[in-house]
Amino acid sequence: MCGRATRGALRALDLGTKGMNTAVAAEGGYLVDPRTAAQVESVLRSGGSLRAIARVVQVEAGAYDVLVDHAELGAGWIDEVTAVGETAGPVFERISIPLHELSASPRASQRILEDAAFDVEAWLAERIADRFKRAESAAFVSGDGVNKPEGFLTKPMIDNDGWAWGSIGYVATGTSGGFDPNDPADALVDLVYALGADYRANAAFVMNLKTAGEVRKMKDSQGRFMWVEGLSVEHPARLMGYPVTIVEEMPDIAADSFAIAFGDFGHGYTIAERPDIRILRDPFSAKPHVSFFATRRVGGDVTDFAAIKTLKFGIA
């Protein structure tokens, strides 16, 4: 009798010291059913793109051709008796913008598509679209034209005093890797007035956020900030009265980098694209997984070399 009582007391003691808890899966953790969020929270990334200010055309062909007249048409004064001589005519250049293909092919198991707590297919489509947007944004700035759009910063850069068609003119800050320490804003003024007056009416600055953080500290001779913060997406920040487009793929300020551009990109850069992203759902080729093959066709190139100027963070 005493032995049975002792064993019962020991069992009670054992249960007391090994109480159920969720910290250990075998002791109760398995009994707690976690709730999965109804969506996946993705890491936020800057979505700015040159697309916001460039010329965008939709085509159904494999390329888009632009005819550009970059010569000055001749003209002169005459009197009523002098014969009219021949004047200089237009000079046309054909710029062809081929459409290149972006693709992605993620996979998901059939079971997770059926049993997940949220719409996995819609989430994948959203992530593909976001990745495509960032890939093309980088290409519009620095793409080499090999199986991708050609970026405006890959064009030959030449001092604006010696600018010629086929190159992008630049203005130097006079200081390697930065602005002039005494008059930092002078370089921005020079950049604005390096652009022709006809282009300045619709011009915008282009830079990344890190560069913008440096520029927005600048003040004029009256001690007023030159940067005016925007009130909404439709009314972006302005610098010296011109809108600023933030494109994270622009280079940082560094020795001889071209971290700021200024121009009428509606004339200067053309983006040609097919109108939508095509997504093929393939449940057969990789069973038990479902493959999603997404493609987008887009191209881009400089179409007016006079419409874009850059700021070089260098001595000359």
Please, is 67 exposed, middle or buried when counting C-beta atoms within 10 Å of its C-beta (0-12, 13-18, 19+)? exposed
pTM as predicted: 0.81
Report the percent of the chain where pLDDT is more than 90: 52
pLDDT reported for residue 10: 47
Q: In 60-113, which ranges are E strands? A: 63-69, 92-98, 100-104, 107-109
pLDDT reported for residue 8: 55
pLDDT reported for residue 178: 95
In sequence order, what are the residues at sequence separation of 6 or more whose Cβ sits closer than 8 angstroms to the Cβ of residue 293? 103, 104, 105, 279, 280, 282
Instruction: Please give the DSSP secondary-structure letter assigned to residue 243.
Output: E
Contact 169, 160 (CB under 8 A): yes
Nearest to 246 by CA among 25, 82, 4, 49: 49
pLDDT reported for residue 308: 98
Contact 66, 305 (CB under 8 A): no
Contact 236, 230 (CB under 8 A): yes
Please, is 54 exposed, middle or buried when counting C-beta atoms within 10 Å of its C-beta (0-12, 13-18, 19+)? buried
Choice among 98-102, 227-231, 251-255 with the minimum mean pLDDT: 227-231
Burial of 70-80, coded b for 16+ CB within 10 Å and e otherwise, reads eeeeeeeeeee
Which residue shows structure tokens 């992008």? 168
Res 316 pLDDT > 80: yes
pLDDT reported for residue 284: 87
Average pLDDT, the chain: 85
CA 220: distance to chain centroid? 30
Chain segment 68-90, per-residue pLDDT in tens: 887 666 676 777 777 777 666 67
Cα dihedral sign, 156-210-268-272? positive
Mean pLDDT, rounded, for 195-204: 96
Q: What residue ranges define each of the domains in the chain, with the CATH number in brackets?
A: 50-70+90-312 (3.90.1690)
Chain segment 117-166, per-residue pLDDT in tens: 778 888 888 888 888 889 999 999 999 999 999 999 999 999 999 999 99
